[in-house]
Chain A
Amino acid sequence: MSGAEAGTQPVTVLETPIHLDYVFTPGIAQSIFLRGLARGVFLGQRCPTCGKVYIPSRGSCPVDGVATDEVVELPDTGIVTTYCVVNVPFAGQAVEIPYTCAQVLLDGANISFMGLIQEVPADQVRMGMRVEAVWVPPDELGPSLASVKYFRPTGEPDALYESYEEYL
């Protein structure tokens, strides 16, 4: 064994930092949704084959594989189909715990998306609860879900389980 080899140690750990930059292309359909958020409206898209309304649409109906060409403006109101109460603090948390994240099914939509539920104690959030979107002030609106500050209860009677069981 040479002197150099005798003085070396075997490599047991190798760090190889990797960093890649990307330019994200949301696509035609998601761009419509994002531009809607910048105006303070929810824009979904309807499948010409099955009639289902997706929000946000990724451009095609995942059932039929056809383009969802028809743009549908949806109301700010909907129902909580399911939810979870966050009790665990984590780095970068922007909301005081406990808080509630819910799947919100907008009226007229056939798919739910995630939203924050506020103006109600976490232990009072329930499946079927009617909610409405609270938007950020007009000058803060942008092409991002951050335009939706949160959802809050409307006080209307809860939706019947049968009306949303398909979306769980």
Chain B
Amino acid sequence: MSAPARRPVAVVSFAQARNVRREASRNEVELLMPVVSEVFAAIGASKDDMGFICSGSTDYLVGGPFSFVTALDAVGVWPPRAESHVEMDGAFALYEAWVLMQEGAIDAALVYSFGRSSPGDVTEILALQLDPYVTAPLWPSPVALAALQAQALIDAGEATEEELAEVAARNRSAARANPNAQVVSDASPEELLADEYVVAPLRRHALPPITDGAAAIVLAAGEKAREWRERPAWITGIDHRIETHALGCRDLTRSPSTALAAERAGLFEGPPVDLAEVHAPFAHQELIVRRALELGDAVTVNPSGGALAANPVMSAGLIRIGEAAARIWAAESERAVAHATSGPCLQQNLVCVLDASDGAVVGGGA
């Protein structure tokens, strides 16, 4: 079955807060407001140009209800405008905006996400996303679950602890060039292997940092995109898939939902990508996602440093799309893939293919 033609929609602006361990003085609205201002200012747009606003966040991080409603204060929604929210990473909010833009009624949309992991215990909070009957009552930490996944990968002969250290070293070294990164390091893989285990086989370096952050993206269609950005990053395909919540029913060494989303997003058609921004909070997960995306050695992976350099929950996936798009604007990439994940052990995955040319708009969704 050939996918129907899609309306060309592009990522034309991207902004993010400086990622920090603890945003001590500003609340969520105050964290988000400068990011929204910046994403508009970069292209000379305003909220009045936006036909739709979609956000991704979770009330569990802030510990109060309807934080996504108060977050709208950072945008200003008078006169009233169409708005939506997903209790997921902002990348999935971007997907909703993209779907709406396919209908053709609106030419531009604002997507944003925010989350401060510092007010609560993020390992306890993430335990609450597990199935509420059998797994969540055990309060397993996401590190423990990721360690099970890493061990399964090592037992299957598909990764070594040295490879996890190599992933961490490469990401945190690349993060040197990212002014918004939280954790940067020039340590070699050999040096990293001297780290203590946090939960075996995961050493400190294989874990993401705990991050407070926010991000915003502007999507635009057709001529509007060319007006705002000389070399827009066209979304030629985007798709997301989910696996069962029952961890014991999954092969944790594989990411079939990533592979399927990639296929439906058209990643395996047309010219190969030259760049990938992969949302892999734990080092071994990058190996799993690279395999699912069939990324060759020629592909530049995570020039931003990825989620190992900064992992703002609810924003880290949207940031991958923004980072990949920025490389296309800068002509550092012709075709890129951005990946976002959500849930335990890569349960849900989104794949977004970005292209310097809108001629390849064929894949996406079903």
Contact = CB atoms under 8 A, between A and B. Distances in A.
Interface of A: 14, 16, 18, 20-31, 58-67
A59 B29 contact: yes
Contacts of A22: 62-63, 119-120
Interface stretch (B11-19, B20-28, B203-211): B20-28
A21 B120 contact: yes
Given A25-B116, A25-B119, A60 B63 contact: no
A109 to B, nearest CB: 17
B43 to A, nearest CB: 16
Interface residues of B, number: 35
A23 B78 CA distance: 32
Contacts of A23: 118-120
The winner among A26, A60, A63 for most chain B CB atoms within 10 A is A60
B116 A62 contact: no
B238 interface: no
A60 B74 contact: yes
Nearest to A29: B30
A47 to B, nearest CB: 10
A59 B30 CA distance: 6
B230 interface: no
Contact of A65 (B30, B36, B121): B36
B255 to A, nearest CB: 29
Contacts of A14: 133, 137
Contact of B78 (A21, A25, A63, A67): A63
A64 to B, nearest CB: 5
A31 B75 CA distance: 21
Contact of A28 (B25, B37, B77, B136): B25
Interface of B: 23-30, 33, 36-37, 47, 60, 62-63, 70, 72-78, 116, 118-121, 124-125, 128, 132-133, 136-137
Given A62-B77, A65-B76, A21 B121 contact: yes
Contact of B27 (A25, A63, A66): A25
Contacts of B116: 25
A3 B346 CA distance: 40
B30 to A, nearest CB: 4
B50 to A, nearest CB: 11
B132 to A, nearest CB: 6
A99 B355 CA distance: 65
B30 A28 contact: yes
Contacts of A66: 33, 37, 76
A18 to B, nearest CB: 7
13 contacts: A16-B136, A20-B63, A20-B121, A21-B121, A22-B63, A27-B25, A27-B27, A27-B30, A28-B26, A59-B30, A60-B73, A62-B76, A65-B75
Given A27-B25, A63-B78, A20 B124 contact: yes
The winner among A21, A28, A59, A64 for most chain B CB atoms within 10 A is A59
A27 B76 CA distance: 18
A29 B33 CA distance: 13
A65 B118 contact: no
- 3 closest pairs, A vs B, by CB? A65-B76, A27-B27, A22-B63
Given A20-B121, A21-B120, A66-B76, A60 B33 contact: yes
B214 to A, nearest CB: 13
Nearest to B125: A20
Contact of A67 (B33, B119, B132, B136): B33
The winner among B37, B74, B132, B136 for most chain A CB atoms within 10 A is B74
A163 B37 CA distance: 34
A58 B63 CA distance: 17
A16 B128 CA distance: 11
B73 A25 contact: no
The winner among B24, B36, B75, B76 for most chain A CB atoms within 10 A is B76
Contacts of B26: 25, 27-28, 59
B15 to A, nearest CB: 14
Contacts of B60: 20
The winner among B27, B60, B63, B118 for most chain A CB atoms within 10 A is B27
B51 to A, nearest CB: 16
Nearest to B36: A65
Contacts of B121: 20-21
B69 to A, nearest CB: 10
